[in-house]
Amino acid sequence: MLSSLKAAAEAVGKPEWGNAGPGDSGSYKDWPEDTGFFRREGGWSTEYGEFFMSWYSQVEREAEGVAHATQPLVHEAAVALTN
């Protein structure tokens, strides 16, 4: 994923944005308002934040496509678990 972020950042002329995600986004236990990135008027509303959220949305769409395309294969390979 980092290579994808790096390529996207270079494509918009901001290679420094491709090194990592936002450092102030908190962890899974944090409320959005307790983070620098997701709080009201936080980092998400900056030029970098808009870039990152757009890139992340694209990654999500691609992952959904892969999951949807492989669903029949997973269903066919289902294994019944017994005691």
- Encode 21-43: b = buried (16+ Cβ within 10 Å), e = exposed: ebeebbeeeeeeeebebbbeebb
- Find the domain containing 66 and state its range: 2-76
In a domain, 55, yes or no: yes
43 with 32: CB under 8 angstroms? Answer: no
Dihedral angle, C-alpha 48, 51, 56, 62, nearest 10 °:
-160
- Spacing of C-alpha 34 from chain mean position: 20
Domain total of the chain: 1
pLDDT digits (tens, 9 = 90+) for 25-45: 999 999 999 999 999 999 999
Number of residues in the chain: 83
pTM of the model: 0.76
In a domain, 15, yes or no: yes
Reported as a pLDDT band with limits 50, 70 and 90, residue 71 is confident
